[in-house]
Amino acid sequence: MSTVTVKDYRANAQASTWCPGCGDFAVVAAMQRALVNLGLKPHQVVAVTGIGCSGKFNYYLGANAFNSMHGRSLPVAQAIKIANRDLVVIAAGGDGDGYGIGVGHFIHACRRNVDITYVVMDNHIYGLTTGQTSPTSRKGFKTKTTPYGAAEHPIRPLPLALASGCGFVAQGFSGDVKHLQSLFEAAIQHKGFALVNVLSPCVTFNKEQTYDWWRENLVNLDEREDYDPADRSAAYKVVNELNSLVTGIIYREERSDYQDELPNYDPQPLIYQDLSRPIQDRDELLAAFM
């Protein structure tokens, strides 16, 4: 069996149109390296995205790709995994895409626990539409849409994920590709829904949360020997005390995923099952519900 390399993931990738210095480049690079390190080939992986700068993630990854509507990557990704559980399914979005129009899907994906990985490239601004306040922008943040400062408090993805029942919650930083790669590997190997929120600077429109700003303010929980990611209460406490300025695996628990909880769910992927049934069988089945 041939060995997979990063070049295999670059073979089908399109030329990038992201701004030079965009943090999302590092997200794709870290994911490619994670998939290679796990021995996964491009045909075994499918990436689903929505709309925005993050929506180009699947174009550049070089695996199977599906581009959904704005904020709708999660329901599509979950459907793909339920139909073919042999695939490694990665949903990707941005803070506007995932925590704005897609926040309802996010909450239900956390509690449903389908075995997919969700990567959110969080730059605290709408980049594709040239710099408006996003759901994670700080209160008082000045942009084109909030020239006097944002009036709302921001969405806080980490405590929201914990409160919604997410079994794997992690946060990475685009300025540390090696650590980000390790988080992606752990998320993909986790059985169930896994969130990796990535602090991914927008160098063009967000002049506050820069690479240097994040480096000065972030605390890596993976380097703290006294931190236990299996303790949900500790996860809440550290996230609140440090105002979500953390990286690493924040919380992880092992439990059955959605498909294992379904009664009579065939372990054979749906795409391999014979779904053709005689007309009389279908009529008999329908009659049972009339």
Over the stretch 127-162, which tens digit does the pLDDT of each residue have? Answer: 888 889 999 999 999 998 999 999 999 999 999 999
151-198 tens-digit pLDDT: 999 999 999 999 999 999 999 999 999 999 999 999 999 999 999 999
CA angle 243, 118, 146 (to 5 degrees): 50
Q: Are 91 and 165 in contact (CB under 8 A)?
A: no
Does residue 251 sit in helix, strand or coil? strand
Judge whether residue 276 has pLDDT over 80.
no
Does residue 105 sit in helix, strand or coil? helix
Token digits of residue 214: 């994040």
Q: Are 91 and 74 in contact (CB under 8 A)?
A: yes
Domain covering 6-288, topology: Rossmann fold (3.40.50)
CA distances 39 to 1, 59, 65, 236, 286, Å, are 11, 21, 19, 34, 45
Q: Are 206 and 235 in contact (CB under 8 A)?
A: no
Q: What would you measure as the largest C-alpha separation in the chain, in angstroms? A: 68
Q: Are 52 and 70 in contact (CB under 8 A)?
A: yes
pTM: 0.93
How high is the pLDDT of residue 277? 66
The kind and range of the H/E element at 198 are: strand 194-199
Region for 74 from its dihedrals, namely left if φ exceeds 0, alpha if ψ lies in -120 to 50, beta otherwise: alpha
Region for 161 from its dihedrals, namely left if φ exceeds 0, alpha if ψ lies in -120 to 50, beta otherwise: alpha
Question: Is the model more confident about 206 or about 266?
Answer: 206
Closest CA to 207 of 131, 277, 97, 102: 131
Residue by residue, what is the 3-state secondary structure of 39-74? CCCHHHEEEEECCCHHHHHHHHHCCEEEECCCCCHH
Task: Tell me the mean pLDDT in the region 230-236.
Answer: 95
